[in-house]
Amino acid sequence: LSELEALMERMKRLQEDKEDEEASQEEMATRFENEKKESLLVISGGICTFPLPVCLFFVSSECLTFDDEIVSTDVSRYVEDPGFGYKDFARRGEEHLPTFRAQDYTWENHGFSLVNRLYSDIGHLLDEKFRMVYNLTYNTMATHEDVDTTMLRRALFNYVHCMYGIRYDDYDYGEVNQLLERSLKVYIKTVTCYPERTTKRMYDSYWRQFKHSEKVHVNLLLMEARMQAELLYALRAITRHLT
């Protein structure tokens, strides 16, 4: 099977399995923990030397690649604090990694209302942006039409949150492991955490049969998922301070 056909087959099989039998809460919790620990090992070293929106414009073969090439693009001029960068939410090797349970503090039920209190109407604008990107679809996968891509979009969004230690109790993280191959996980973490290292080689390494518009949508999903994850942590901290 081609990469595309194999992915569609896995989506179909996961949907059938979900209809036949749902995983228990214990199984889903275990799968989340496994995925969370694995995400810490997907890429090592390096820091993001300037903010994410700027970084994403530098998807160039001049940047760091998979192996041992050196970053040749000087990006320090784009930031005031060269020490600013991504850090994993937990140290590698820790037995009990911290988990942010989304059900305890969600964007819809908590973050949205708080951010509107802090900055009038900004919650509506952010919510519209999140929903638009998450729901964006042409119902296609490469050359296939009339395809429901909801499962795939949710896997991408939830994997980013998983990297930040955020867990959805009603989501089976076994789907992430089935739908996102290794090269795509490397790409996701690089774009999300170390965007200055993103290269065209990485971009070309996954979903080779997909259209560019579909792969650009992946980038949009990753950016919005990261922004929402950061907002959830920040707004939860503000809520705790206010109460």
Query: CA 66, CA 50: separation in Å to the nearest integer?
Result: 20
- Rg (alpha carbons) of the chain, rounded to whole number: 18
Percent of the chain topping pLDDT 90:
61
pLDDT of residue 115: 95
Q: Single out the residue of 83, 215, 111, 233 nearest to residue 163, CA to CA.
A: 233
Q: Single out the residue of 29, 43, 24 nearest to residue 173, CA to CA.
A: 29
Q: How far is CA 93 from CA 27, 40, 47, 96, 204, in A?
A: 22, 10, 20, 9, 32
- One DSSP character per residue, 152-169 reads HHHHHHHHHHHHTTEE-T
pLDDT of residue 233: 95
Q: Nearest 5°: CA angle at 99, between 134 and 87?
A: 80
Which stretches of the chain are assigned E, i.e. beta strand?
100-101, 140-141, 144-145, 166-167
What is the token pair recorded at 202? 């990485």
pLDDT of residue 74: 62
Q: Is the pTM of this model over 0.75?
A: yes
At 158, phi and psi to the nearest 5? -70, -25
Please identify every stretch of the chain with a pLDDT value under 70, giving residue numbers as ranges: 1, 43-76, 89-93
Task: Give the list of residues 6+ apart from residue 50 with CB closer than 8 angstroms, or none.
Answer: 75, 76, 78, 79, 84, 196
